């Protein structure tokens, strides 16, 4: 009778175990700068919420549209509306859901306003500048336009404009991400991590209940320079997270646009790695509502 190869089976099991330990614990896969379109569904929802909060604060619709394209949704407006309904059904923040709905509405209205530009109809400005035949189903209806500063309600201009395609955009209210007392600087720590970029400022913004707040505008200034950025654009780090890379030997000041303490005199600290080599570390700032 042939002997069962227990030694081969044991070696195989040991090899598989060592491989799993190495892959999961010693050197796990680290994914950085991933395409937003490859994110998990819940991370995509956080990304949309952050984009909506940034749009509510800045009103920059073209930038929001470009950011949404990174998610590769077939219909971004429909995806936003579906997410807002799901958020309300799950009892999440109505304020964040309103921001998502406002962005979806702005996208829809932007598409409606852009539609007449692609048609071949005569622009309204050309009709007012010269004598023309108004749009009518009857070929015998000819009207001569006389330019005046304040045309009366009975002039043919109104009759012509009734035949033109038009859309009156509904007002979109601008939502403020947070309300309440100004934020306090509750933490300012040096970070000496050789795995992080040199001079990285990490900013975390929390509510009074220590919940991270997306869409908060941050103002950072230095001599002859200024930049604005928002929390929540890196949902893998947290909804209330944002970062900025400092230039060595340059002093910076950080403040929230919603009102906060000013963190001034921020300079990249000098750190030392285990090998004795110097490198520039970073800072971690925490702002919280009282």
**231 neighbors 215 (Cβ within 8 angstroms):** yes
Angle CA 42–44–49, to nearest 5: 100
Q: Using pLDDT thresholds of 50, 70 and 90, give the confidence band for residue 233.
A: confident
Say how far residue 100 (Cα) sits from the centre of its chain: 11
Q: Give the lowest-confidence range in 121-135, 250-264, 275-289.
A: 121-135
Q: How far apart are CA 112 and CA 110, in angstroms?
A: 5
What residue spans define the domains of the chain?
36-115, 184-288
**211 neighbors 95 (Cβ within 8 angstroms):** no
Q: How far apart are CA 76 and CA 82, in angstroms?
A: 10
Q: Using pLDDT thresholds of 50, 70 and 90, give the confidence band for residue 182.
A: confident
Tokens of 50: 């952050």
Domain 184-288: which CATH number of 2.30.29, 3.40.50, 2.60.40, 2.40.30: 2.60.40
What percent of the chain has a predicted confidence (pLDDT) above 90?
Answer: 28
Q: Using pLDDT thresholds of 50, 70 and 90, give the confidence band for residue 29.
A: confident
Handedness of CA 55, 56, 58, 60 (dihedral sign): positive
Q: What is the pLDDT of residues 61-86, one digit of tens each?
A: 999 989 998 888 989 988 998 988 88
Environment class of 116 (CB within 10 Å of its CB; exposed 0-12, middle 13-18, buried 19+):
middle
Q: What is the pLDDT of residues 38-58, one digit of tens each?
A: 888 888 899 999 999 999 888
Q: What is the pTM of this model?
A: 0.44
Residues 6 or more apart whose Cβ sits within 8 Å of residue 112? 167, 169
Residues 6 or more apart whose Cβ sits within 8 Å of residue 160? 127, 132, 134, 135, 143, 145
């Amino acid at each position: 009778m042939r002997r069962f190869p227990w030694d081969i089976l044991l070696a195989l099991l040991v090899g598989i175990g060592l491989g799993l330990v190495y892959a999961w614990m010693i050197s796990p896969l680290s994914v950085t700068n991933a395409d937003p379109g490859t994110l998990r569904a819940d991370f995509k929802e956080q990304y949309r919420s952050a984009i909506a909060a940034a749009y509510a604060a800045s009103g920059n619709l073209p930038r929001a549209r470009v950011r949404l394209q990174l998610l590769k949704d077939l219909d971004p407006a429909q995806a936003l509306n579906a997410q807002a309904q799901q958020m309300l059904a799950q009892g999440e923040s109505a304020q964040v859901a309103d921001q998502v709905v406002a962005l979806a509405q702005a996208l829809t209205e932007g598409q409606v306003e852009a539609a007449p530009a692609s048609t071949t109809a005569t622009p309204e400005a050309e009709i007012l500048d010269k004598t023309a035949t108004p749009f009518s189903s009857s070929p015998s209806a000819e009207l001569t336009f006389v330019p005046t500063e304040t045309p009366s309600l009975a002039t043919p201009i109104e009759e012509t404009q009734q035949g033109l395609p038009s859309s009156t955009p509904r007002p979109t209210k601008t939502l403020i991400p947070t309300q309440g007392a100004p934020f306090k600087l509750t933490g300012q720590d040096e970070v000496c991590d050789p795995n992080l970029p040199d001079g990285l400022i990490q900013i975390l913004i929390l509510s009074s209940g220590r919940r991270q707040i997306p869409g908060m505008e941050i103002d950072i200034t230095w001599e002859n320079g200024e930049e604005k950025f928002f929390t929540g654009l890196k949902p893998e780090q947290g909804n209330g997270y944002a970062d900025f890379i400092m230039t060595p030997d340059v002093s910076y000041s950080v403040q929230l646009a919603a009102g906060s303490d000013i963190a001034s005199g921020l300079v990249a600290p000098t750190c030392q790695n285990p090998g004795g080599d110097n490198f520039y570390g970073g800072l971690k700032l925490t702002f919280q509502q009282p």
